Each structure stands twice: as C-alpha cells, then as structure tokens.
C-alpha cells in the first residue's frame, strides 16, 4: 500500500512525487507517458530562472530528478478506474489494482479536435495536433493552422519558417492570441490570416490530405484551400473520462479542487492541467503538484495511526 500514489508523470505529477518522497513516505507514480505534454514542446522560455530550454530536455530532467528519490515509477501504465474507500484503489489497464492511502490525480490535458468529416480519417496523414513533432514533415509544403489563440498563432509563426505557406483560420471575428504574437504573425510574408472562417471538411485522396473546405461566416459562402497539412490548435481537454462519477468535475470536465488541491473525495488530491486551476503552464502545474503532495502528507498525519 502506497502512502501517496501519483497518477500522471507530467510537471505536476513529477513535482508531487518529489515533494511526497522527501517526506520519507512510500511514494509511487503511474504514468501513461512520463513527461506529459512537455515532451511535445520545443522552446520553453517561461520556466522561471531558466532563460530557455527544450521540452524533451526538461522532460528528461523531470524523470532524472524523480529518480533521485525512492519513488516507484510505473511508466507506460494507464489508470482506468479510481475506487474510493479507506484505502483508495487505482485500477490499471493491465488489470492490476494499486492501493494507496492517498492519491494525487495529475493526468493533464490533450488537444481538442474539430469533429469535422475527414479529420479522423486523415489523422497522421496530414492532420496533426503537434507542430513541434510534425512541422518538419511539411517542409516546403502548404499548411493550415486551425485556431487563432496563443497556440495557433505560435504554431503558425513556427511553421512559417519551415513550410512554403501557412493559412491560419480563426472561427471568431478576431485572433485571441497575445498582441506580441499577432504582430509577429502579421510581419511574416508567407502567412494568410482568415477570420470568421469555419472549417467544415478535411479532404484527401484517401492516402493523404489535399485540402480543406471552410465557410466564411460573414457571407455564408464556402471556399476551398488546397494544401498538404492541417495543424489543429483549438484548445485542451482534461484527461478525466476515467474519473466520471467518482470525483466532482466541472462543466468542462476539469477536476474541482480547493486551495489545498483537495478533490470531493477524502484522501484524493489533484494538480495541474487536469484541474480547475486557471492558466495551464509548467510552473503552475509544478507548484500545484507540490501543494497537493504537502496536502496529502498533512492528510496522512491526521488520519494514520501513530
């Protein structure tokens, strides 16, 4: 039986594991993919005190730091069910059930999809969600970025340096990205920005993407763009499907936590992008993970027999 079992191996989970292990208690981490979203990130310039780093480098450092401590890391293991009780069960896809006195949920979030015809069919055949992973595959080709928030505009700026042309499509009447990013975007010669543009279909020749159709929401007219790649950047979804019916979730599926990282289930805490805490960022996820571990420790000293 673990004192603290962390589910998730991103920045929040890694921080929680280190803070728990430093209390000298029996700590485990279950992660589907240790490193989490950080693995999909290239330049990170807002990890405070480190002017610039790269995602895979930071992810490797997270794992190394956790391994400095006596933490049982169970990587490439998916949690499928949380079973509340005096000791809390976490059932894995492998069939095994782990037992713990406290659990910290840190399963993060993932990119949202457009849900239009052709999107699933052409996934990894031109439709992608990760510019840093797949950008170089489209060298010299034409691509679209869907979404005019920070991630979409960052992706368009990034891709403009690799591909021949980028069309950015934003559903609303204006971009939502930070002004500094928008200025950068508009300074690039090979980027076209379309607002009020609703993507309606991804088309292809059955083996790969050859274009997309969109409706101009101002005129109602349909248009077609011929291109080879589509980067979807329209937001994040919390990884909480497996928790429905056990811990309280918000309308958007985030785990509801209080200021101590406590969930609606005693002994179960949560941290990072998976929670209602605003601003999904690495330093925030780490701070919240640390806080959840300290709260779990506090819970243990109040509830465990001496």
- Which positions make up the binding site for NAD(+)? 142-156
Residue from 4, 6, 10, 228 binding ligand FAD (CB under 6 A): 10
- HSE at residue 144, side-chain half, CA atoms within 13 A, is 28
Nearer to ligand FAD, 196 or 294 (CB): 294
Dihedrals phi, psi of 78, to nearest 5 degrees = -105, 125
Pairing, β 209-216 against β 222-226: antiparallel
Q: Are 26 and 102 contacting, i.e. CB atoms less than 8 angstroms apart? A: no
What angle, rounded to 10 degrees, do the helices at 150-160 and 179-186 form? 30
Annotated binding site: 3-18, 142-156, 263-273
Using CB under 6 A as the criterion, what x/- string covers residues 66-85 for binding ligand FAD?
A: ------------xx------
Count the neighbouring beta carbons within 10 Å of the beta carbon of residue 31.
Answer: 26
Q: Does residue 182 belong to the site contacting ligand FAD (CB under 6 A)?
A: no
Within residues 220-259, the interface with ligand FAD by CB under 6 A covers: 239, 242
Count the neighbouring beta carbons within 10 Å of the beta carbon of residue 194.
Answer: 16
Nearer to ligand FAD, 53 or 215 (CB): 53
Q: Which helix H or strand E contains 85, and what residues bound it?
A: none
Using CB under 6 A as the criterion, what x/- string covers residues 29-48 for binding ligand FAD?
A: -xxxxx-xxx-xx--x-x--
Q: Does residue 152 belong to the site contacting ligand FAD (CB under 6 A)?
A: no
Count the neighbouring beta carbons within 10 Å of the beta carbon of residue 213.
Answer: 17
Annotated binding site for FAD: 3-18, 263-273
Minimum Å gap between C-beta 237 and ligand FAD is 11
Helices (H), the chain: 11-21, 55-67, 131-134, 150-160, 179-186, 282-303
Q: Does residue 9 belong to the site contacting ligand FAD (CB under 6 A)?
A: yes
Nearer to ligand FAD, 175 or 274 (CB): 274
Residue from 2, 5, 13, 267 binding ligand FAD (CB under 6 A): 13
Minimum Å gap between C-beta 82 and ligand FAD is 10
Choices 118-126, 172-180, 257-265, 276-284 (CB under 6 A): range interacting with ligand FAD:
276-284
Dihedrals phi, psi of 194, to nearest 5 degrees = -115, 120
d(CA 11, CA 296): 17
Q: Does residue 107 belong to the site contacting ligand FAD (CB under 6 A)?
A: yes
Residues forming contacts to ligand FAD in the complex (CB under 6 A) are 7-13, 30-34, 36-38, 40-41, 44, 46, 78-79, 106-109, 132, 239, 242, 272-274, 280-283, 285
């Amino acid at each position: 039986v673990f004192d603290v079992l962390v589910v998730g191996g991103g920045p929040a989970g890694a921080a929680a594991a280190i803070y728990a292990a430093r209390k000298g208690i029996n700590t485990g981490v279950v992660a589907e993919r240790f490193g989490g979203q950080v693995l999909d990130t290239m330049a990170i310039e807002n990890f405070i005190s480190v002017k610039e780093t790269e995602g895979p480098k930071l992810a490797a450092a997270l794992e190394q730091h956790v391994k400095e401590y006596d933490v049982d890391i169970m990587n490439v293991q998916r949690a499928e069910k949380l079973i509340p009780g005096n000791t809390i069960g976490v059932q894995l896809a492998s069939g095994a059930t782990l037992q713990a006195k406290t659990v910290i949920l840190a399963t993060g979030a993932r990119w949202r999809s457009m849900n239009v015809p052709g999107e699933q069919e052409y996934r990894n055949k031109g439709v992608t969600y990760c510019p840093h992973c797949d950008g170089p595959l489209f060298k010299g080709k034409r691509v679209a970025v869907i979404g005019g928030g920070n991630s979409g505009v960052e992706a368009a700026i990034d891709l403009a340096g690799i591909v021949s042309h980028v069309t950015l499509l934003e559903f609303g009447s204006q971009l939502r990205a930070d002004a500094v990013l928008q200025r950068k975007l508009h300074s690039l010669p090979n980027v076209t920005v379309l607002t009020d543009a609703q993507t309606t279909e991804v088309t292809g020749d059955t083996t790969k993407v050859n274009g997309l159709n969109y409706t101009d929401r101002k005129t109602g007219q349909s248009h077609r763009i011929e291109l080879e790649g589509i980067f979807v950047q329209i937001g994040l979804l919390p990884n909480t499907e497996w928790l429905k019916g056990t811990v309280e979730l918000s309308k958007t599926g985030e785990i509801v936590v209080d200021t101590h990282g406590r969930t609606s289930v005693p002994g179960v805490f949560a941290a990072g992008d998976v929670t209602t805490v605003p601003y999904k960022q690495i330093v925030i996820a780490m701070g919240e993970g640390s806080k959840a571990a300290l709260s779990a420790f506090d819970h243990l000293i109040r509830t465990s027999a001496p």
